Amino acid sequence: MANKTEEQMAKENRLRLFRGDGARAMDDAANEAIAVRKNMARLRELRLAKESEAAQSEAALSQPTKTETKKQSK
């Protein structure tokens, strides 16, 4: 019977370790998901800022410049 008890203790110990590994894996996955969302938000902000800057510079280039030359009538 002593062997049976040692086997049961070993099995319980393995299960305890597996549960701990599972909890750590879940925590790691959650932390990784948070990091991915933060990075996506950072990249989105950079993209939007770049697009805004490009739109402003394009708008500035497309505006006709005021010239003071007048057409001469013949």
pLDDT per residue as tens digits for the range 42-53: 999 999 999 999
Residue 18 domain-assigned (yes or no): yes
Cα gap 21→27, rounded to integer Å? 10
Any domain includes 37: yes
In a domain? residue 40: yes
66 within a domain of the structure (yes/no) = no
Residue 3 lies in a domain: yes
Confidence of residue 71 (pLDDT cuts 50, 70, 90): low
Q: Which domain holds residue 49?
A: 1-60
Cα–Cα dist 22/26, whole Å: 6
Residue 73, in any domain of the structure: no
In tens, the pLDDT along 11-68 reads 999 999 989 899 999 999 999 999 999 999 999 999 999 999 999 998 888 876 666 5
